[in-house]
Structure 1
Amino acid sequence: MVEIMIDVVLPCLNEAAALSGVLSGLPRGYRAIVADNGSTDGSAQVALEHGALVVTVPQRGFGAAAHAGLLAATSDVVCFADADGSFALAQLPRVAGPVLSGDADLMLGRRRPGTRDAWPAHARLANAVLAWRMRSSLRVPIHDLGPMRAARRERLLALDLRDRRFGYPLEMIVAAARAGWRIAEVDVDYAPRAEGTRSKVTGTVLGTARAVRDMSKVLAR
């Protein structure tokens, strides 16, 4: 039996088409926690069939799902990643390693798209602007808000994150920076979403605009 070292929170809304491939790529010693946010396509069943812990999250919102997954985690270090097939979970040790070794408090995976269509231009621009604001206002040395990330569970809970929409990932970085955490990033591969799935954030200009709106509210607090 492989000892479970790290829980991986995967917020999920209708990702059945991607989950099989995503969960099959999980490294040894990592456990998937699929935080199901009201899927109607059988995502929860697919996750269970691949050995994931499934957490049902009635409250809609990316932040609600991510935080419910964090609460369900039991490992000291917790990772987060998207469940849409855009990340190779085999690269999670790159992100978790510096946290495990004590070299970083919050580690982000800086997305390196392998193809032009992996990351739509409107989403990449919005991300770049927000990352620039992090560097200029909080002196956080990052270039990507990095959905694949890792930190210690108890310290994350102590940040008392409140956003339950798309502002949650940014709130985590802002709160960590204000708490004096060491924040860093490492390159990870970024691929197009799995066929048959659609992004709730970057798939459309409207989705990106909603995410930027939520994140801007976080920065304005």
Structure 2
Amino acid sequence: MDVVLPCLDEAEALPWVLARIPDGWRAVVVDNGSSDGSPDVARALGATVVHEPRRGFGSACHAGLLAADAEYVCFCDCDASLDPGELVRFVREVASGDADLVLGRRRPQGSGAWPPHARAGNLALARMLRRRTGLRLHDLGPLRAMRREALLELALTDRRSGYPLQMVVRAADAGWRVVEHDVPYLPRAGRSKVTGTWRGTWNAVRDMRKVLAEAPAARPVPAVAR
């Protein structure tokens, strides 16, 4: 299994995150222009480092997906807010055929783990997602697992903050079984580049609203048996 870890100035958090990658799994740290030595820290701790010069959360995620080669691919933030060890049960559920995409529903642990403005934005997006797809999800969190080839077939195009949402929308349009499970959400190390400010949250919501405005993709017509 490969775990894609988008990274922008996360040298402080990397040791904690990488120490929790399950045994036998590969950590793919995608550096998105760090200036704090994050790539060197990740490499010294045994991670595969990919450099993605085009800024954007989606750019980093997709570069990691293209660099992955395992049957299953997972995503996790690189800021020590989420434990990648939780992904073991996610992958198990996908491998068993009980789900196609498993998401972590963030449950804040202590004050400061999830700023009110970020939580409000996430709730609004979850409601819009429900209207758009019918999926009754509570969170659009970054901890997730699925089959790599299936994800590539969704042909995601967003390279900004809308990437995680586009993944869920296109998965729903394709008839995937999408489930979520509670996971602890810890106060992150350092300052968030997205949800740490009202402006960052608003920009993320704007990107995601564009994704929700996309017309549903037509499902492929099954071939007729001859």
TM-score range relative to shorter protein:
over 0.9
Contact residue 94 and residue 186 of structure 1 kept, 8 A: no
Aligned to 1:219: 212
Aligned to 2:114: 119
Which of 74, 80, 97 aligns to 2:92? It is 97
Aligned to 2:223: none
Q: Which amino acid aligns with 2:120?
A: L
Structure 1 runs, 4 residues or longer, greater than 3 Å off: none
- Distance in structure 2 (CA, Å) of the matches to 1:211 and 1:8: 23
Which of 185, 203, 215 aligns to 1:210? It is 203
Contact residue 64 and residue 164 of structure 1 kept, 8 A: yes
- Distance in structure 1 (CA, Å) of the matches to 2:91 and 2:121: 26
TM-score by length of 2: 0.93
Q: Which amino acid aligns with 2:202?
A: A
Which of 19, 23, 45 aligns to 2:18? It is 23
Aligned to 1:3: none
Verify: 1:163 aligned to 2:140, yes or no: no
What is the CA-CA distance between 1:219 and the residue it aligns to? 0.8
Q: How many residues matched?
A: 214
Q: Which amino acid aligns with 1:8?
A: V
Contact residue 6 and residue 78 of structure 2 kept, 8 A: yes
Report which of the two has the higher share of helix. Answer: 1
- Distance in structure 2 (CA, Å) of the matches to 1:93 and 1:83: 17
Which structure has the bigger radius of gyration? Answer: 2
What is the CA-CA distance between 1:91 and the residue it aligns to? 1.3
* Gaps in structure 2 of 5+ consecutive residues: 215-226
Aligned to 2:66: 71
CA RMSD of aligned residues (A): 0.9
Give deviations 1:68-126, integer Å, cap 9, x for gaps: 00000010110000000000122111322211211100110000111131000000011
- Distance in structure 2 (CA, Å) of the matches to 1:136 and 1:214: 17
Give deviations 1:18-68, integer Å, cap 9, x for gaps: 001110111112210001001110000000011100000011100000000
* Gaps in structure 1 of 5+ consecutive residues: 1-5
Contact residue 77 and residue 152 of structure 1 kept, 8 A: yes
Percent of pairs with identical residues: 60
Aligned to 2:183: 188
Contact residue 141 and residue 184 of structure 1 kept, 8 A: no
- Distance in structure 2 (CA, Å) of the matches to 1:14 and 1:153: 26
What is the CA-CA distance between 1:136 and the residue it aligns to? 2.6
